Amino acid sequence: MSYVDEGRAGSGGAREAAGSRIPDPAARPCAAGATGAAVLQGHPCFGGDRHKYGRLHLPVAPACNIQCAFCVRKHDCVAESRPGVTSRVLTPRQALQRVRLVMEDPRMREVIRVVGIAGPGDPLANEATFETFRLVTRAYPDLLTCLSTNGLLLPARFRDLLAFGLHSLTVTINALDPEVGARIYSDVRLDGQRVEGVAGARILVANQLAGVALAAEHGIVTKVNTVLIPGINEAQIPRIARTVRELGATVMNLMPLIPQAAFAGIPAPTAEQLGAARDACGGIIPQFRHCSQCRADAIGLIADRTCGGVQ
């Protein structure tokens, strides 16, 4: 059973608007030799059976290169269940040991299909990300690999992702217009420089879109995450859906704002608002509707919210 709402995105509109034919992601060969279908069926965050298949997040990436108005990162947190937190940051060798401990458990070995790096900062801003994937893919070549990023460094580090054979990629894109992006991101840090406001948001959006296009060209199954921020980016969301579908993204995940940090005073969208946005975008690109907004050290089935359970 698929846990992605296919909508009408599989034919017509967006692909024709792109001016070129986008290959069927299920038939597309992945960078590491698996087919896109293997990723879509085995990855619980891309449409695989979330009651059967699980993921193992390795929290090796504490540094980040942008400042989001809704982000609070914590590296020693055991109580919260949200992105950006972990009970502790691991070294690449510790991460490999965690994979070994998890895969030695017969029950978990039947569940875990994906090893991913999703923080607690941005994986591409941390060299430990690449060393961890090199170690894990050599030891466990049958596990799917996944990375989640803000996309700022995607064009610059893309060949490094190809080197170890990344299977799936998630890029968080919250705006297309730099003026809207500047309300969400106070600054970006690139090549040793801090760029603020609209100028920084313009760089971020350009790199995000270039990265999605590169991933599609090289057969990496790509999901785009977008945080629905009431009063800030609602009008951007259908445009994001159309644009990333035209670039070759496979699925979109609309997530509700968690009110905190600079956006602590903005209420989270209601279930009705979130559902309406997903329905509107479902005719453009398939929607993933079961995200649990997990921690950077999550282990197991996405419905379990199990995290940091193996030291």
CATH number, span 4-300: 3.20.20.70
Using DSSP's 3-state secondary structure scheme, residue 227 falls into strand
Residues 17-66: pLDDT tens digits? 333 334 444 444 444 445 556 565 555 555 555 555 778 999 999 999 99
Number of Cβ atoms within 10 Å of the Cβ of 262: 15
| pLDDT at 281 (0 to 100) | 96
Report the C-alpha gap between 302 and 82 in whole angstroms: 12
> What are the structural domain ranges in the chain?
4-300
The model's pTM: 0.82
Mean pLDDT of the chain: 82
| pLDDT at 103 (0 to 100) | 92
Are the beta carbons of 171 and 225 closer than 8 angstroms? yes
Report the C-alpha gap between 46 and 43 in whole angstroms: 5
Q: What angle do CA 185, 190, 191 make, to 5 degrees?
A: 170
Residues 152-185: pLDDT tens digits? 999 999 999 999 989 999 999 999 999 999 999 9
Report the C-alpha gap between 94 and 100 in whole angstroms: 10
Residues 64-97: pLDDT tens digits? 999 998 887 555 555 455 566 778 999 999 999 9
Distances (CA, A) of 292 to 123, 157, 301, 303, 306: 20, 28, 10, 7, 11
| pLDDT at 227 (0 to 100) | 95
pLDDT at residue 105 above 80?
yes
